Structure 1
């Protein structure tokens, strides 16, 4: 868990202050976690706008430009998450760590939701995070200061060099980190590459984008 050193907001004024913080929001919705260690679990996804990584294979390129998306109150986002009945929320992007996640994460936790994040790790962690999924990119490397908090290392694989990159990052993670390789959706040749590697290196597992198979967001 990554947790900021902060006195919990106790008064209505404290809570209102956090509720009034705004984030550029692409979308938020109740769905099924489609990939990674929590595949198959219902989750509330919160997608912030803005990205400084810009992976060419990204399937949400519309999230890159922060100015194209409305600033939305934390209180409104959190209320929708609570109403969904989800046990945890996933903050994703874009690159969510371009924003200070204190207000959003603290309010979600105050309402009883665990907070997960999916990030490239290229900016400092912020907020209160129960599960950190790191998806590192070679062209904008993660900050070394983030590695002690990584619960799940999920590396998208197209070629052999991506597996080498995955191993480089795994060496910096805690021994308890879940290690996952994920084939790039439009590169079918990566599947055999990953399967062969995982069979020889069983400390790694495979993540698939199951939400695309079952056609959920």
Structure 2
């Protein structure tokens, strides 16, 4: 496999793919097929998918095979996630998925330009590596993970950079869910343009 092929997006480091229910953000409760790619250029200490960070652990898989597996399930919504999926050109993958009439969502920290055809951009920026302005403007949903009170300041900073149509969500970091949720609830009540997102899939014990 040449690096050129990988760069062109014909092959992608697939960590896992599975059919489940979207557990967080605006599309909570929606059946969706998840495509998780390896590699991350942000590296959050609380990340619950650290196993994805090293893409060399995941041999590249042909886009045609990824799409074939997606088509085999009943879902008509695709979530491309990671790791950080924008590390790779997604034009070929999204083109093939669109041929099968999928609606395509992406979850990204916004550190790299978006490529391909994306119907919904969920932007979850991190302060250690801030998002690109072009991704902030493309975001349909701004989802800030809140581990401490200082993350609320980060949330407000980013909310000033997204478009007026972008929906705003605060989501408690799972390991401090009980401790931080009351502060998030009170903040949203005082600032009702913010919504609260909860990782419902963890309560349901599904992927």
Q: TM-score range by the shorter chain?
A: over 0.9
Q: TM-score, normalised by structure 1?
A: 0.90
Name which of 166, 172, 179 aligns with 2:161. 172
RMSD: 0.9
| Other structure's SS at 1:129 match | coil
Question: After TM superposition, which residue ranges in structure 1, 4 or more long, deviate above 4 angstroms?
Answer: none
Q: Write out per-residue CA displacement over residues 20-41 of structure 1, whole angstroms, 9 at most, x where no aligned residue.
A: 8110010001000010000001
Name 2:148's counterpart in structure 1: 159
Name 2:73's counterpart in structure 1: 84
| Other structure's SS at 1:153 match | strand
Name 2:205's counterpart in structure 1: 215
Name 1:150's counterpart in structure 2: 139
Q: TM-score, normalised by structure 2?
A: 0.94
Q: Give the whole-Å Cα distance in 1 for the aligned partners of 2:68 and 2:156.
A: 40
- Offset of residue 115 of structure 1: 0.7
- Offset of residue 85 of structure 1: 1.5
Q: Give the whole-Å Cα distance in 1 for the aligned partners of 2:163 and 2:71.
A: 32
- Offset of residue 110 of structure 1: 1.2
Q: Give the whole-Å Cα distance in 2 for the aligned partners of 1:147 and 1:209.
A: 23
Aligned residues between the structures: 198
Q: Give the whole-Å Cα distance in 1 for the aligned partners of 2:134 and 2:31.
A: 30
Name 1:104's counterpart in structure 2: 93
Unaligned runs of 5+ in 2: 1-8
Whether 1:25 aligns to 2:14 is yes
